[in-house]
Structure 1
């Protein structure tokens, strides 16, 4: 169903919640509605898409797990060597494990089967396959989640509340 972006009192994105939870927060006076999609769920009450909490909430930093799905999303489902965006994508260690490369955000990229085989047990420089982008750890789990919705074409009104997308 409809998702709602929740902002802290400082306008910093906090999380994504359901429209029902967002409506309860607004009706209880704990949040204010900043954006809506025009759909009415009660007379004079539009379905919210962005709300802002009235009081600041301190939330600890959350790590994003290093998974195949998350690496593919970070790399926009494209080969980081040639740009291929098809179905048969693999994960590649920039510095091969046999040469001391580890399992980290900075050492794993999305690669097509062809480039992965061509690179083999070499570094990108040795294989003459330059990386299109240097692999890095994603900013935050929420930033990561919001970017999925924006790339999917939904909730474009969220864009003005998230820096760097």
Structure 2
């Protein structure tokens, strides 16, 4: 039936949970329903899409792993040099590994095969290629997950609870 955005008592996004877990939290009065999609679990109980916890919860910072899939998501599945979108994308090191560049969020971008070959063992400046965006570490793991749902066109009601969307 779908996923539910869980907000802290302060209305900041906390995590994404299953609809079943969300319903249990609402029934136990540990959370309140903020948004629903018009579907119903019971006759007078709409299926929540956003809930808010009644008690504030402190959350530790969670690191996002540097993986091919996460890099593709960060770069919106497009070449960061020419803007080509497709399935044939590769990963490119802005500062080549042979010249001391490491595997970091700030040094890796997605690139089409053509641009990756053209750039070769040079920096973008040396190859006279301009990056569409400066590569950076994603904000938070939750922000990263929420953007996946929003880009798929699902749960647009979540947009107002996530800053910068």
TM-score, normalised to structure 1's length?
0.99
Q: How far 1:138 sits from its partner (Å)?
A: 0.2
Q: Determine the C-alpha separation between the residues in 2 that align with 1:9 and 1:149.
A: 22
Q: How does 1:74-113 map to 2 (within 5 A)?
A: 74-113=74-113
Indicate the residue corresponding to 1:59 in structure 2: 59
Q: Determine the C-alpha separation between the residues in 2 that align with 1:54 and 1:84.
A: 45
Query: What is the RMSD computed on CA atoms of the aligned residues?
Result: 0.5
Q: Determine the C-alpha separation between the residues in 1 that align with 2:8 and 2:121.
A: 47
Listed as ranges, the gaps of 5+ residues in structure 1 are: none
Indicate the residue corresponding to 1:24 in structure 2: 24
Q: Determine the C-alpha separation between the residues in 2 that align with 1:41 and 1:90.
A: 44
Q: How far 1:93 sits from its partner (Å)?
A: 0.1
Q: How far 1:144 sits from its partner (Å)?
A: 0.2
For residues 59-91 of structure 1, what are the alpha-carbon distances to aligned partners after superposition, in whole Å with 9 as ceiling and x for unaligned?
100000000000000000000000000210000
Q: Determine the C-alpha separation between the residues in 1 that align with 2:147 and 2:60.
A: 20
Indicate the residue corresponding to 1:161 in structure 2: 161
Q: Determine the C-alpha separation between the residues in 2 that align with 1:19 and 1:141.
A: 20
Q: Determine the C-alpha separation between the residues in 2 that align with 1:95 and 1:40.
A: 53
Indicate the residue corresponding to 2:126 in structure 1: 126
Q: How many residues align?
A: 165
Indicate the residue corresponding to 1:39 in structure 2: 39
For residues 77-136 of structure 1, what are the alpha-carbon distances to aligned partners after superposition, in whole Å with 9 as ceiling and x for unaligned?
000000000210000000000111001000000000000000000000000111010000
TM-score, normalised to structure 2's length?
0.99
For residues 10-65 of structure 1, what are the alpha-carbon distances to aligned partners after superposition, in whole Å with 9 as ceiling and x for unaligned?
00100000000000000000000000011111121000000000000001000000
Matched, 1:69 2:100: no
Q: Determine the C-alpha separation between the residues in 2 that align with 1:87 and 1:46.
A: 39
Matched, 1:114 2:114: yes
